[in-house]
Amino acid sequence: MPLIPSTYRAPLGLRNGHLSTIYPTLFRRVGRPEIKREILELEDGDFLDLDCSRLGHGRLAIIGHGLEGDADAKYIRGMSLALQKRGWDTLAWNCRGCGGSHNRLLRSYHSGVSEDLGYVVDHAIDKGYREISLVGFSLGGNIVLKYLGEQAKQVRPEIKSAVAFSVPCDLTSSSLQLGERQNALYMRRFMDGLKGKVVFKNEKFPGELDLSDLSKVKTFAQFDDRFTAPLNGFADARDYWTRASSKPHLAAITVPSLLIQAQNDPFLPPACFPREIAIASKHLYLETPKHGGHVGFISQGEEYWSETRCCEFLEGPSQDRLGAAT
């Protein structure tokens, strides 16, 4: 599929990747859609919290959040409102242990939990939806793309399209880049949230976790080696990053899927821009605007460019803009 030239132009003064990333979190004001919280019980005894807006439109967008986010994040709310305005029901799902509820099991969520998205999709189909699109941000986008690639020819026919933003599709390179000095602010914030979760789990499952010298755990390499990997069946951090990455699955995707990666995203190194895979694919579109940061894509006005662009693609991906690489 030819790479898509992007129309996104960041506002003057917000073209730095870090500013684009941080500004929406601090300053964006966005309303909250009316939701009903549903609890989806899982086969292993755990559960997922689903924030559903069932408006009777007949078609559904399932939206996934990023690392240490939840369904109440501003980018999730903005996307939900934009889609609802255009005639979509929305289901924003919270990964295990996110959204205000601690999950029941010792394991929690991670970047490759595509099976949990599968449970959400099956739940939506059981509710009667026959036209479903998937939307994911960062970690949530990795889960969407991994799920679609793993399903390949067996993907549920109700799934019509997908859009993913700011995806660390190569977790090894992205995890290492986030450990660099210029990204220390983001790493500290992620570590605070992740370590808080393991402290809670240690209280719930005494003796199952080693929290000695937890304050010295400062990077994904250290955290994933010590907690994420062993709690989720991986040998170590590198094994986790390799097996949980969506990049090896992109070529297998069989539904129209748009991946948007800003060139100035501080989280994404070159390995997270799968240009050759997109060029060879019949179904994966890659759009790489010059600006946008990580889950930024700021616009003047109520609706952000990412929301407008997502809705545009979902309304008719087969007719989407094609052209040379940006």
The residue among 131, 140, 130, 121 whose CA lies nearest residue 67 is 140
Phi then psi dihedrals of residue 264, to 5 deg? -105, 25
> Which of 114, 138, 174, 175 is the catalytic position?
138
Element holding 198 (H helix, E strand): helix 184-204
In whole angstroms, what is the distance from residue 171 CA to residue 228 CA?
A: 13
> In the annotation, is 291 catalytic?
no
The first and second tokens of residue 67, run together, are 């690392």
H or E segment and range at residue 144: helix 139-151
Is 245 one of the annotated active-site residues of the chain? Answer: no
Tokens linked to 141: 């986008």
Catalytic residue check, 138: yes
Closest CA to 317 of 261, 254, 250, 257: 257
Catalytic residue (one of 89, 116, 170, 265): 265
Tokens of 25: 């979190």
Cβ proximity of 309 and 25 under 8 Å: no
**DSSP secondary structure, 259-301, as one string:** EE--TT-TT--GGG--HHHHHH-SSEEEE--S--TTTT---SS
Buried b (16+ CB within 10 A) or exposed e, 124-158: bbeeebebbbbbbbbbbbbbbbbbbbbbeeebeeb
55 three-state secondary structure? coil
- Which of 89, 245, 294, 306 is labelled catalytic? 294
Catalytic residues: 138, 265, 294
